[in-house]
Amino acid sequence: MLNFILLIFIYIGIYAIAAMGLNLIVGYTGLLSLCQAGFLAIGAYTTAVLMTTFHMGFWESMIISGFIASLFGILIGIPTLRLKGDYLAIATLGFGEIVRNVILNWDSVTKGPMGINGIPGPSIFGTTLSSMDKPAWIVIIWIFVAATYYFIRRIIRSRVGRALEAIREDEIAASSMGINTAKYKIGAFTTGAFLAGIAGSLFAAFNQSVAPLTFDFMMSIMILCMAVLGGLGNSFATIVGAVIIVLASELPRLMGISHIIPPQLNQILFGLILVLMMIYRPQGIIGRIKLNYAKIVKEEISDLEK
Amino acid sequence: MPLLYTQNLRREFGGVIAVADVDIEIFKDSITGLIGPNGAGKTTLFNTITGLDFPTSGHVFFKGEDITELPAYKITRSGIARTFQNIRLFKDMTVFENVMIGRHFRGNNPKIVKNKFLNFILGRIYVKKEEKDIYENSIKWLNFFNLLDMRDEYAKNLPYGKQRELEIARALATEPEILFLDEPAAGMNPQETDSLMKTIKRIRDLGITVVLIEHDMKLVMNICDKIIVLNYGKKIAEGTPSQVQNNKDVIEAYLGKTDD
Ligand SMILES: Nc1ncnc2c1ncn2[C@@H]1O[C@H](COP(=O)(O)OP(=O)(O)OP(=O)(O)O)[C@@H](O)[C@H]1O
Ligand SMILES: [Mg+2]
């Protein structure tokens, strides 16, 4: 039982990283993206291939995975960020499906539907972790959760965050204030993709295997649910959203009644959560935190010489 | 040479010719009024000049350079700012933040803006100096409009007249050489309009050239050095307020043709 709870919190951590990345795109910048699972898949498979075929270590593979995912973030970002609202969402949805299909059919590299097995665990302090070392994994993954939280906080509290907020409020006004909106939008998209790539890499190394069916559209929706449920534009709320969503989807197994609950129930559950939230609490459980940039800047510059 | 001029500027929407081969010249340190009946193409002309819309044909020159194809943010950076007919403030941001965004891309020293990414990761000292510059300049513009005591209000909570002023403050924070105002007095009461007239003159006295669209004829006739009249996308007249007031075509455009 303890083992199972540890397992759940490992997954919560991995999803929280990807969901905070998505929150940067959707919550802070106001772009609806439905392909976070695609970036996770790219991260997971990059790590899988680098570690099995090229016998690279985990930590190098993870960094490379993050960058490859963000590279795809740029590639999809440039043509699609001209699109607005619904059109952008549909384009990202298509991208996620393309990624999944490429992985499914590029047998020579991805081993197709079989997936890649036998991914070694990361080595740390001279020992190699396996999926069994759950306490160590919990620590590693939640360090990444904390780092992601801090990283996003740093971005949001800076002038970059101010620009993202302005773009979300009114993109046309922002561009006529001299803000290069395309640059910031692609930046947010790429950073979100990078974080999903890192999450995917952790996912692959923890499970020591990857399979294409994992990274389906439902996963993108689940990650979106986490960000929406907690409250868009609030990284802490996103973590809370990840806790709730993963717990809710594992509840049948936790209560030992998984054999009588069909697995499709999850999908119904996510759909229901999205619908109910949109009707009754569109701002999410916790809601957005509005920063006061004038105060932040005043504090920040208080130690500068006159 | 004019500070800004257009050559055969044209914008068509399907069959509608919103701006029909218009040439205008804006001289430095002047206040130019752009008037015309509803739908005459005034806003469209502003949009094509400021890069929010692109002309079907023709050119825009600013300080001798062709800026026709530049995107809006580059046009703003080159020294052209604007406000909107339907106020476009960042509604859920504070008054102070709105002005800070106006100042966003300008550091007071070119060295400061360089290596932004490295600064962000490392020392932060240059980023801090840049932020300080943004902060202090925002205070300056808030003071200019007496908005400082409302600095922490959300823009959407300001009275209408104050929102219009805040939008001008935000535009001025970009440090423009030329400022385009699209119906700045719309929705203002007579006192507010009077104070706006004084403000526009103060802006001109700072060495900023002003172009404004306005339906309030008292305001236009009082403060403009030159007036350009559009009708059905065409420039039908230009000149001093008194020249334009007595122009037969202008009277016809506004009152309808009275041939008897
Ligand atoms: N995006 C657009 N698509 C189609 N037609 C447009 C568009 N923008 C403007 N028009 C048309 O172009 C013409 C000029 O419109 P514009 O808004 O420039 O007029 P205006 O002089 O600013 O009028 P007002 O005094 O009412 O603000 C109108 O016939 C309008 O319907
Ligand atoms: Mg108009």
Q: Give A151's Cβ-side CA count (13 Å radius).
A: 16
**Which residues lie near ion ligand 2 (Cβ < 5 Å)?**
B 43, 85
Mean pLDDT by 10 residues, chain A (306 residues): 86 96 93 91 94 89 95 85 80 86 83 84 79 85 95 90 94 94 91 96 92 88 90 92 87 72 75 83 85 86 71
* Least Cα separation, residue A38 to chain B (angstroms): 28
ipTM of the complex: 0.90
Residue B228 lies in a domain: no
Same structural domain, B111 and B205: yes
pLDDT digits (tens, 9 = 90+) for B6-56: 999 999 999 899 999 999 999 999 999 999 999 999 999 999 999 999 999
Q: Tell whether B104 and B15 lie within a shared domain.
A: no
Task: Please report which confidence band the pLDDT of residue B119 belongs to, taking 50, 70 and 90 as the band edges.
Answer: low
pTM of the complete model: 0.91
CB within 8 Å: B84 and A162: no
Q: Is B18 in the pocket of ligand 1 (CB under 6 A)?
A: yes
Residues B64 and B171 in one domain: no
- The reply to whether B241 falls in a domain is no
Domain that holds residue B178: 79-212
Residue nearest atom 2 of ligand 1, based on CA coordinates: B13
Query: Both B207 and B107 in a single domain?
Result: yes
B47 close to ligand 1 (CB < 6 Angstrom): no
Domain check: are B83 and B208 in the same one? yes
Q: Look up residue A88 and give its two tokens.
A: 């952008």
Residues B150 and B26 grouped into a single domain: no
Among B22, B51, B73, residue at a domain's last position: B73
Choosing from B20, B45, B73, the residue where a domain stops is B73
- Show residues of chain A in contact with B97, CB under 8 Å: 162, 165, 292-294
Question: Does B55 share its domain with B101?
Answer: no
Whole-angstrom Cα distance, residue A247 to residue A249?
5
Q: CATH no. for residue B177?
A: 3.40.50.300
Please tell me whether residues B136 and B186 are part of one structural domain.
Answer: yes
- Alpha-carbon distance A149 to A169, whole Å? 23
* Residue B227 counted as domain residue: no
CA–centroid distance, B12 to ligand 2, in Å, is 16
Residue identifier of the C-alpha nearest atom 12 of ligand 1 = B18
| B184: Cβ contacts below 8 Å, ≥ 6 apart | B83, B164, B168, B196, B200, B212, B214
Query: Domain limits of chain A?
Result: 2-215
pLDDT at B112: 45
State the alpha helices, DSSP H only, in chain A. Answer: 2-23, 36-52, 58-80, 85-105, 107-110, 134-157, 159-169, 171-175, 181-207, 217-230, 235-254, 265-280, 293-301
On whether both B157 and B89 belong to a single domain, the answer is yes
Minimal CA–CA distance to A235: which of A81, A25, A5? A25
Minimum CA distance residue for ligand 1 atom 4:
B13
What mean pLDDT value characterizes chain B? 89
Residue at B258 is within a domain: no
Indicate whether B57 and B147 sit together in one domain.
no
Q: Residue A291 is which amino acid?
A: L
User: Nearest C-alpha to atom 11 of ligand 1 is from which residue?
Assistant: B18
Q: Tell me the pLDDT tens digit for each residue of B167-177.
A: 999 999 999 99
Task: Tell me, rounded to whole angstroms, the distance of Cα B93 from its chain centroid.
Answer: 21
Interface of A with B (CB under 8 A): 158-160, 162-163, 165-166, 169-170, 172-181, 290, 292-294, 297-298, 300-301, 304
Domain boundary among B212, B227, B247: B212
pLDDT tens digits for range A10-60: 999 999 999 999 999 999 999 888 989 999 999 999 999 999 989 888 899
Domain count of the fold of chain B: 2
A52-94 pLDDT tens trace:
989 888 899 999 999 999 999 998 888 777 777 788 888 888 8
Whether A180 and B73 lie within 8 Å, measured CB to CB: yes
